[in-house]
Amino acid sequence: MSFNFVGQLSSSKSLLNRALIASSFNNELYVQGASGSEDVVHLKKALSDLIGGQSEFYCGDGGTTLRFLALRVSRVPGQYTLTGSERLFSRPQEGLVKLLRQLGVEAAIIGNSLKINSNGWKPMGDAVYVDASKTSQFVSALILSSWDLDFDLHFNKSKSAVSDSYLNMTLGLVKELGMKIKVSGNEYTILKSKPQQHFYTLEPDMSSMFSLAALGALHGSCRLKSFPENSLQPDKVFVDILKLMGVDISLEDEVLSVSKSPLQAVAFDIGQSPDLFPVLGVLCAFAEGESHLYGAKHLAYKESNRILKTAELLREIGRDVEVKEDGFIVKGSTDKELSNYSFVFNPDKDHRMAMAAGILNAMGTRIEIVDKDVVNKSFPEFWDCVGVK
């Protein structure tokens, strides 16, 4: 049975988590939008508990939850413990500890927890240095909690940086909310400011929309409502990618329409939108010719090593995949007879890998997906939307 979806998805979890941190500095800033994703649920509860005087917070598997929250709680004098999963603390967090210490905050990772002892921010030296070589989230975390300081904050970002697109999303958001920030190359100055805009309406989540749009292009149709003409989210580039692949796609009256189409191979630098990689890999597996996805070494530091896990998934359906340090080359096939493929796939606690496998299931592959509920991290409605039980 072909896939047909019409509807509006929940708000962007990336934008919502950023807006929640900003609104915690101004109770007259109202954020309009909602998401049931675990990352958002954990951050909302933690911020509420912080206001209520609590000192222990659970972050689940959420990288932004941990990193954004760590900088936020450190603004309030006290001793705090941030806990999370073993997988969360196996991801790069050393830069977070180094950043906190430069702000005069005692911090240490002990097992699956981050211990913080703060007397408020007291920067050590003329400027703070932020390592963005593996993630831009440390920079975003610093910016998001720099509201209402009694001094101007100067910091430098490492020249070697990844995912500047997500940092640009953070900058776009805080500037809309009234932050006065000067940027010159890798040097930043945040002037004393407080969130000003009283209402902020969030866009639907682009990464989630891409998973449904991809399934529509492969196996039916998809109509996504409230699709913004302009978006702060870097994953909006999926529209351009689908066009490059020859997909029948159009935007009219805030409805993005996608229909099943013959797919052409694509060469694309995915470095600024790494969350698209697993689902895009599935699309490329059904394109005519060889597709090359590149520019994203940092995929190795996501919830799983997404280069290796996506290659594993595509090889299970008979595709030739040549793994590279920053992506892979996959030889696509227009053959969509998938019912003969039956296997167990472990997404390795990665929500986006589970979605990629779920798309194949919706197309007729018989995949037993281990820990299907991992999609709750970002898109808890996914299985209902794609019609897979």
**Where does CATH 3.65.10.10 sit in the chain?**
13-201, 204-386
Among residues 316, 360, 8, the alpha carbon closest in space to that of 219 is found at: 360
Length of the chain in terms of residues written:
389
Q: What is the rounded average pLDDT of the residues 325-350?
A: 93
pLDDT of 375 reads 96
Q: What is the rounded average pLDDT of the residues 203-228?
A: 97
- Over 80: is that where the pLDDT of 247 sits? yes
- Over 80: is that where the pLDDT of 163 sits? no
What is the distance between the alpha carbons of residues 218 and 5, in angstroms, rounded to a whole number? Answer: 13
pLDDT of 196 reads 83
pLDDT of 130 reads 95
270 or 133: which leads in pLDDT: 270
| Residue 316 β-bridge partners | none
- Over 90: is that where the pLDDT of 281 sits? yes
pLDDT of 307 reads 97
What is the distance between the alpha carbons of residues 100 and 128, in angstroms, rounded to a whole number? Answer: 10
Computed over every residue of the chain, the mean pLDDT equals: 94
Q: What percent of the chain has pLDDT over 90?
A: 87
pLDDT, one tens digit per residue, over 117-139 is: 999 999 987 779 999 888 899 99
- Over 90: is that where the pLDDT of 234 sits? yes
pTM, entire model: 0.92
pLDDT of 217 reads 97
Q: Tell me the backbone φ, ψ of residue 328, rounded to 5 degrees.
A: -160, 170
DSSP character string of 192-251? S-----SEEEPPBPHHHHHHHHHHHHHHEEEEEES--SS-S-GGGGHHHHHHHTT-EEEE
pLDDT, one tens digit per residue, over 72-93 is: 999 999 999 999 999 999 988 9
Q: For residue 232, what pLDDT band results from cuts at 50, 70 and 90?
A: very high
Q: What is the rounded average pLDDT of the residues 41-53?
A: 96
Fold of 13-201: UDP-n-acetylglucosamine1-carboxyvinyl-transferase; Chain (3.65.10)
**DSSP character at residue 12:** P
Q: Name which CATH class applies to 204-386.
A: alpha beta
Q: What is the rounded average pLDDT of the residues 253-277?
A: 96
Please list, in sequence order, all residues whose beta carbon lies within 8 angstroms of the beta carbon of residue 66, skipping any fewer than 6 positions away. 59, 82, 84, 88, 93, 96, 114
pLDDT, one tens digit per residue, over 182-194 is: 999 999 999 988 8
Among residues 181, 136, 143, 137, the alpha carbon closest in space to that of 160 is found at: 136
Q: What is the rounded average pLDDT of the residues 53-70?
A: 96
Q: For residue 25, what pLDDT band results from cuts at 50, 70 and 90?
A: very high
